[in-house]
Amino acid sequence: MTGPAVSLTGAELRRGPRTLWSGLELDVAPGEFVAVLGPNGSGKTTLLQVLLGLLPLSSGQVRVHGAPPARGSAAVGYVPQQRALDPLTPLRGRDLVGLGLDGHRFGPGLRGRARRREQVHRALAQVDALDYADAPVGSLSGGEQQRLRVAQALVGDPSLLLADEPLLSLDLARQREVVELVDRRRREHDTAVVFVTHELNPVLPVVDRVLYLVDGRFRIGTPEEVMTSANLSQLYRTDVEVVRVRGRILVVGAEDAPVHHDVPEEVGVR
């Protein structure tokens, strides 16, 4: 693929009277890993909905692989937020992964059965999930279920991977596993990654750039460029201190600031 996987030009999105972000300019190159950070309600998940073709921009332009985003594009993989599945869910691991091929269609799958089985098997192998391919998904741990969601996103061999808070509710070891799976995919297949997260530190070793959204404002750059006390204080419009300790980044808000509860005392851990 030539050209950016994602291109946003003068992008603005309003929800009612509120502007989530405006004037957003962002190109994501093939193989690039971009982490999207910010407090709840800043428009991180909404950005993914725009890239998935689920929401139109209020103004500006968005392109995915050079064209307007379209629902159900095979070139785009999506990892949703981690949610525990009901223990009685009547699906095996391989069934859940297979939905990534034809879950958006009505009626039987349109692909040959042998080819479909091969694609599902390959996706399961990519995330080291073959051991529970035939297990009921409701009986699996949160980390195992999230591996299957990553496999589901990869089964169509996408050139763009969108991940929405895939580390929520996972312990540190499982967070590292998910990050390593995504990073390995983008390095081996030149897949662009847009990774929404509250937890910067688990992705810090692999991320190329950060998009930090706060109350309609944003900063884009490398972690070293964006994650500074001056930048975050401007974004939050209050005193914010960024501290680096043993390879981790901690963001601390002022004790008496109204944004204190929105700025996490620690942005993730490694």
The closest alpha carbon to 259, from 234, 238, 241, 243, belongs to 238
> What's the whole-number mean pLDDT along residues 28-43?
94
Per-residue pLDDT, 81: 81
Per-residue pLDDT, 256: 35
Per-residue pLDDT, 106: 35
Backbone angles phi, psi at 163, to 5 degrees: -130, 125
Whether residue 268 has pLDDT greater than 80: no
Residue pair 60/38 in contact (Cβ under 8 Å)? The answer is: no
pLDDT tens digits along 55-105: 999 999 999 999 999 988 889 999 988 777 777 888 899 999 998 886 544
Average of per-residue pLDDT values in the chain? 86
CA distances from 159 to 4, 31, 154, 172 (A): 11, 9, 9, 27
CA distances from 223 to 15, 71, 112, 226, 234 (A): 29, 31, 45, 5, 16
CA distances from 264 to 37, 129, 149, 242, 270 (A): 11, 33, 27, 11, 15
- Residues 1 and 199: their CA atoms lie apart, in Å, by 30
Residue 247 — very low, low, confident or very high, per pLDDT cuts 50/70/90? confident
Residue 1 — very low, low, confident or very high, per pLDDT cuts 50/70/90? low
**Residue ranges of the domains in the chain?**
1-75+158-222, 85-157
CB-based burial, 5-36: b 16+ in 10 Å, e otherwise = bbbbeebbbeeeeebbbbebebbbebbbbbbb
The closest alpha carbon to 259, from 230, 237, 231, belongs to 237
- Residues 100 and 77: their CA atoms lie apart, in Å, by 8
Provide the whole-model pTM: 0.85
Q: What dihedral do alpha carbons 170, 203, 9, 46 form, nearest 10°?
A: 10
Sorted by sequence, the CB contacts under 8 Å of residue 115 that are 6+ apart come out as none
1-75+158-222 CATH, one of 3.40.50.1820, 3.40.50.300, 3.20.20.100, 3.30.413.10: 3.40.50.300
pLDDT tens digits along 196-229: 998 899 999 999 999 999 988 999 999 999 999 9
Share of the chain above pLDDT 70, in %: 89
